[in-house]
Structure 1
């Protein structure tokens, strides 16, 4: 009888056993009773023997040890009987063997420790294969199976031994996952976890090593060395030993700045295939560069030993991307696999007169030895003879520059052993059985290597940065790079910088990229000349948009066509390789193709009125859609009611999550559109769009870009004398500068924004500017000024019917009251703000309200309640991708944990704050987090590292002229460090 089946053969339900936590048994969707602690101890002892039999004495020793009761064997039998009853229909798995017992799991039963072992094996395989993210994920899944302390609540010596073993296993898995994380480049994320782990396990030197390495790779060398000093002190005091050799060696390597400790995510590329002697193939270029992966992929396809079918590959790409060069290189590389010959033809598919299949077949037949008199007329007859001649032969045909699949089909041998390689600007999706390859531009490193090989290492080495500017201006397009390099090589008096300057002018770039009979523009003209009128119009108008790419909906607005019609047009341009589709529903130009498309639009082929109308529709689409996102995120906030009306509709969203997905996906396009609208004079639309997309700035991910664009709008509004646009963009800049701790500049923007709002009678600027100005005054410690501005803003919001603005002012006022020592009043105001946000159904703003309430509660001494508010706020910030506020919330939680005297947890939270704020935070915020981190580390006995944190914080505060410097000096003085 099979395991897991009853006498009737009916499959019994599988059981899931858990010992990594409480001892539990689950059958389908219900938990089975596991009985008393001693009964659980018996079950655990049997489970952890892996099906092997345990004698009665072994089980007694495991469950009771030396304190076994009288009639212990009877008690053991009783527990075994109860276990069988609990197992129900699976009772037969608990068997009696020679006075002992064994638990025989069926093939579908699962024990969590076995699952850990399997996941660990998979992780080791993934590591060996170089798939580090996968390995890290698998180790994480294994660790997630622990649900607290293993064998929780289970008595007996046996459980104690297993508990120690399983805890050691868990720590080893943690170390392995962290090692993989560091190798994969997750050093910043690892610091927080390692900080907590070294606090919990101060004697575990491997964790100290990993923390030192993680800190070093984060650029925190002084802290890394302080970790060693703390470890050495603790080991000496507790165990009377020095750190092990590995830890000391790591300290020395850090002191020496050993470059091998730095993380390098680069992976060496496979060497390019060697060039072999051609037959009918064109000569391979001597400076062929890069493309190693494509050479390998295509070579493997063409040289396949599968004799049942003809190998067929088709390479597609934009003109000038190097399709022919690559194809010739591959053909030479696999030549030895085709001893019966290699055929080549340029099908001239990009030109006005593509080669006719009949004439190509004639030339192929002659190359294969057929006399002219024996060559029949007509494509079918010639194709039949061609296939007959190739039967039982191994021949490679390179069909270069094909127009479409119809031109290629008659030229296919169709016999096993032969192979065909096709290049075309069009994707051969209708060429049956073809292995399709899309060839993109070169990587920056490949492009620079190609440029260097043509120009010479000496000239390029002297001006490497300028050379990188040249290849970037060429869009990393091989043809453009070759032309630019050829021009420079022919002009010995030019420097690389001279060429870079000439290429920096986008309007003249295509004219510069010509050498002899080679021009980039002519290559693009060939493809453009084959477009139908509607395709050509779409090509020209799409080139007008400044963003890195366009969504289908945005393109439809630009073209003034329905989404289905627009998609057909865009996909047809993708098929010609004049447009790229990097992801479903998103389209982009190569940089040089965009310049060509724009030139086509501007050279009298697209009237100025039509160009302006197209860009106006795109701006309207973005503003209308961003306003919808803003309204969904901020119910009760009437800012959207004051923006400029739009003539073209935007998108609607079913959920806030979908709206945010759109906003962050379109971030670069939205900011590019604002800048372009500014240059085009649509200042109010541009300023309003900035306000509607301020979540991009608040998230921290796009702050620098957002500020730069806002400054451009401000300068244009000042020049035009548009007070409304200027006032609104100053509101945007106040908010942005405040987020990056540029408080003096933010204060200036708020003051001028309020003045302009009042002068222009703009309710938006005259309410939001004082609200933000009050926040800035609070950050500067001017609490009375802050309260005055916030009370003014509160009245203005109420006059305007802006209830979300009212809640914001109340929330901000609570911070001021805390600063003035009126903490009870602060809690009251923050509570009112939260209640109002809840009434409005707000989500993201509710997080800001709960954050403010948490701050107020903490300063009122109610830290446990504060942590609840921070946890709720953190969840919302994370859902809304507000990394800056995630980081600040972790910081506040660290403060609360310190106040509750839980320094280890505070240290871990402060590290999480630093991780979230890296690359998006400012020196002031980093300084206040480092101050709290130092206090937490000092509380856990890591005084050396604490001092380093305080020294770094002090340096930041002194440079910024912040008052927090005094507090940090006191901390360092208390630690015995002179400042």
Structure 2
């Protein structure tokens, strides 16, 4: 048994800490720590005698300790190798508890027999792969009498060492005489595996180049564990436990900054520390560099660091200190890409959203979709791109900046601008086509549609619009910035009816803010009134900017009245009423809704007319006039039957009428009728799939069932409300609070 291992076991058996043993023996705790970890040369006889006396060991144990020392002096097989010593691990290691536990479990499995456990830690540059394995190796080395061997495989070098060269180095570290080392690469690797089979040794292979470099070095059964790090996934290696490493959590990032820089530990700096962590993308390398720069600049505050990192064009330059830098680390991976992959990678910087699918990449490359999939997998393999789901990819924030740098350095400005605007136009073409599934008078794409994504059904269109919202919104910004006002207005118009199915998304405020300005720039007063109305809706219903919403609606009304545009006049009055209603000015709101009925009827705006009646009933319900509200909802249902309302809007209107009527019936204490009406509501697709309506249905059912004395069923319905309310940001406080209050009353 190694001296360090035996000494540790004796100390623990005696129930002593290192500090207590140091006090009892007169040997420093640092010297004891070095001996236990195998970091020191053989101890002097007087040191060993002092430790043995303090530990009160038996004569037999004292002889064993002396034999361990003699074995070390002889340079026997248990001696710690002088070569391949692991580098110093960081003292301020933060987080990674789950990953360290996974490595410990793998090592423990190896002690039970079978093949040597191999753990591959992989991830993007700067994520802390080497730091993690060195920490794990330090914790495990005491369990491996033959020591810990470390080799940097230089996987990102232009010419990494071969497996045979690495094997020769490891054999020398294991004290195999040079004349005994085999001649060929294959034989040296086999010799290494044979030696490792007999030695319980922890092997760390850092920064691997690929499978061909690692595979021949892996020992077989009976050997100690192997820890491998690589930017690649090394999918060709079999029997390997892969441990993907992600950036730190926000809490871990802040903790790391506090350990590196004293300024970051000040309570007053907490907000700025969180912002630095975000700007560093929670990447350990970036955080350490930022913290080091902060700690070495006595005049800097964390706020000063935030300001320096906030400039996207300079952020990567700021994340460089001494001989290390985030951009340089990325460049090593980038250098290994094929020419096609480099072009695709840099053009990913054009995509505006935080994540994307392969069809969107085609919009900036014009490559074959099948080829793009292969290239994206190449980027994933090298850690330059992350997968979020089966079909979605994501660039780390700092990698996006790096891709932007490559784009500016390798493509002329005119070409960049043309590709960016072309991408925006094509992306908005898809957006318009998807949005028109919900617009009266349109529906399915024309037979000639051959876009990059399937939009064969309304469900496919809705899924695409929701999942790619940040991308098409970014494309809308690009189009607006380029003066493509007609395209901006057309896109916003196509999304108008779809927006009613996604009211909780706050992005509508920006969408209709852009289209309002574009409509005004086009000089078309009817368009201006229309998009002022859309903006008013978004400002009130989505962003709760009620003063802005009311002002926009009144401006739209003035334009519409002056131009004799009855339809936009009616909608302007309706949106003004919405703002007043949200401010609690219910009587004023109800009066504007009554005024809006006449211009809506004159304009033959049948969809809008029914919608007005539903709003009137809702306003009456909010005033506590439940019978009046029911009468208005019945009138809306009659008008829905009488008027040629579009199919999609008819379904949505019918659902709202049933849901609101059920709630009014319940508020009148008509529990059975309320339950019957909720059943009618749930027979509509809109009520089942619109979160706000679904919450109201289950709240109504909970109230009705409680009123009928069925408390068990009522609890189930109210619990469902609380579960669903998280998906309805605008209304969740009312639904959740009301359901929670009722649940408490039932339990009481």
The equivalent position to 2:467 in structure 1, one of 649, 660, 665, is 665
- Report the CA distance between 1:552 and its aligned residue: 2.8
CA distance change for structure 1 residues 725 and 381 in 2, over 3 Å: closer, same or farther? farther
- Report the CA distance between 1:486 and its aligned residue: 0.6
- 1:490 and 2:296 equivalent? yes
Q: Which residue of 1 aligns with 2:541?
A: 739
Report which stretch shifted further, 747-756 or 697-706: 697-706
CA distance in 1, matches of 2:272, 2:720: 39
CA contact (8 A) 1:546 1:669 kept: yes
The equivalent position to 1:479 in structure 2, one of 262, 285, 293, is 285
CA contact (8 A) 1:824 1:860 kept: no
- Report the CA distance between 1:613 and its aligned residue: 2.8
SS of aligned partner of 1:319: coil
CA distance in 2, matches of 1:466, 1:567: 39
- 1:381 and 2:184 equivalent? no
- 1:291 and 2:93 equivalent? no
CA contact (8 A) 1:626 1:663 kept: no
CA distance change for structure 1 residues 838 and 729 in 2, over 3 Å: closer, same or farther? closer
1:103-133 Cα deviation digits (max 9, x unpaired): xxxxxxxxxxxxxxxxxxxxxxxxxxxxxxx
- Report the CA distance between 1:425 and its aligned residue: 0.8
CA contact (8 A) 2:715 2:743 kept: yes
CA distance in 1, matches of 2:174, 2:746: 84
- Report the CA distance between 1:509 and its aligned residue: 0.8
1:579-612 Cα deviation digits (max 9, x unpaired): 0002110100111111111121122436443454
TM-score, normalised to structure 2, is 0.75
CA contact (8 A) 2:566 2:602 kept: no
CA distance change for structure 1 residues 508 and 716 in 2, over 3 Å: closer, same or farther? farther
For residues 314-713 of structure 1, the aligned pairs below 5 Å read 314-456=120-262, 459-605=265-411, 607-614=413-420, 616-617=422-423, 620-621=426-427, 624-625=430-431, 627-628=433-434, 631=437, 633=438, 637-638=440-441, 649=451, 651-653=453-455, 655-690=457-492, 692-693=494-495, 698=500, 702-707=504-509, 710-711=512-513
CA distance in 2, matches of 1:827, 1:695: 24
1:782-831 Cα deviation digits (max 9, x unpaired): 44432332332344355xxxx64565356556668998959757523323
RMSD over aligned Cα atoms: 4.4
Q: Which residue of 1 aligns with 2:690?
A: 882
CA contact (8 A) 1:281 1:344 kept: yes
* Structure 2 stretches lacking a partner, 5+ long: 1-35, 40-79
Report which stretch shifted further, 703-712 or 329-338: 703-712
Report which stretch shifted further, 390-399 or 678-687: 678-687
Q: Which residue of 1 aligns with 2:555?
A: 752
CA distance in 1, matches of 2:460, 2:235: 32
1:862-919 Cα deviation digits (max 9, x unpaired): 8865653444335647766433333445566789899x99898999988976875578
CA distance change for structure 1 residues 503 and 434 in 2, over 3 Å: closer, same or farther? same
Q: Which residue of 1 aligns with 2:680?
A: 872
CA distance in 2, matches of 1:517, 1:431: 33
CA distance change for structure 1 residues 890 and 307 in 2, over 3 Å: closer, same or farther? closer
- Report the CA distance between 1:400 and its aligned residue: 0.9
CA distance in 1, matches of 2:239, 2:739: 63
- Report the CA distance between 1:476 and its aligned residue: 0.6
CA distance in 2, matches of 1:276, 1:471: 34
- Report the CA distance between 1:362 and its aligned residue: 2.1
CA distance change for structure 1 residues 928 and 335 in 2, over 3 Å: closer, same or farther? closer
CA distance change for structure 1 residues 737 and 872 in 2, over 3 Å: closer, same or farther? farther
1:508-547 Cα deviation digits (max 9, x unpaired): 1111111111111111111112211211111111122231
CA distance in 2, matches of 1:862, 1:364: 84
The equivalent position to 2:611 in structure 1, one of 790, 808, 818, is 808
CA distance in 1, matches of 2:191, 2:717: 77
Report which stretch shifted further, 709-718 or 815-824: 815-824
CA contact (8 A) 1:554 1:618 kept: no
For residues 7-406 of structure 1, the aligned pairs below 5 Å read 276-277=37-38, 280-303=85-108, 304-406=110-212
- 1:840 and 2:643 equivalent? no
CA distance change for structure 1 residues 859 and 333 in 2, over 3 Å: closer, same or farther? closer
CA distance in 2, matches of 1:869, 1:378: 83
CA distance change for structure 1 residues 438 and 424 in 2, over 3 Å: closer, same or farther? same
CA distance in 2, matches of 1:356, 1:859: 79
- 1:730 and 2:730 equivalent? no
SS of aligned partner of 2:350: coil
CA distance in 2, matches of 1:629, 1:825: 31
* Structure 1 stretches lacking a partner, 5+ long: 1-274, 946-979
SS of aligned partner of 1:391: helix
CA distance change for structure 1 residues 891 and 606 in 2, over 3 Å: closer, same or farther? farther
Q: Give the number of equivalent residue pairs.
A: 655
CA contact (8 A) 2:586 2:619 kept: no
CA distance change for structure 1 residues 828 and 433 in 2, over 3 Å: closer, same or farther? same
TM-score, normalised to structure 1, is 0.58
CA distance in 2, matches of 1:758, 1:647: 39
CA distance in 2, matches of 1:728, 1:555: 34
CA distance change for structure 1 residues 876 and 656 in 2, over 3 Å: closer, same or farther? farther
CA distance in 2, matches of 1:439, 1:724: 55
1:835-855 Cα deviation digits (max 9, x unpaired): 768972654443234346657
The equivalent position to 2:592 in structure 1, one of 771, 776, 785, is 785
CA distance in 2, matches of 1:715, 1:344: 62
SS of aligned partner of 1:351: coil
CA distance in 2, matches of 1:808, 1:718: 27
SS of aligned partner of 1:414: coil
CA distance in 2, matches of 1:933, 1:390: 63
Report which stretch shifted further, 529-538 or 687-696: 687-696
CA distance change for structure 1 residues 345 and 749 in 2, over 3 Å: closer, same or farther? same
Report which stretch shifted further, 373-382 or 679-688: 679-688
- Report the CA distance between 1:570 and its aligned residue: 1.1
For residues 899-918 of structure 1, the aligned pairs below 5 Å read none
